Amino acid sequence: MSRAGALAAGLVAIAALAGCQTWADRADAEMLTKCARIADPGARNRCQTEVMTAAADAERAFQEKQREAAEAREQREALREAYGVPKRAAWP
């Protein structure tokens, strides 16, 4: 019974990822499909965990990069306002 539940959960996850737009999402979906084919339940779970962890790490890194860029923009704007430098003469 638990095997059927795990298979159903895996298929739902794969179906959700199948409609993804980016190449990274398609690669993750392909890796999850490969993980679903592993017969050993422990190895299959490890494989799925590694794929999902890698995807989460990539998303976290992307968000951190976006946050750093936003903070840099805010800092440049604050410096521009403090020193009165025109926008076009400030930083690119």
Contact 33, 13 (CB under 8 A): no
Cβ contacts of 87 within 8 Å, gap of 6 or more: 80
- pLDDT value, residue 69: 93
Predicted model pTM: 0.55
How many domains does one find in the chain? 1
DSSP 8-state assignment for residue 66 = H
Q: Write out the chain's pLDDT in tens, 92 residues.
A: 466 666 666 666 666 555 545 666 777 888 888 888 888 889 989 988 998 898 889 889 999 999 999 999 999 888 888 887 666 655 55
Domain coverage including residue 47: 2-89
- pLDDT value, residue 26: 76
Place of tokens 């490890």: 46
CA distance 20 to 27: 10
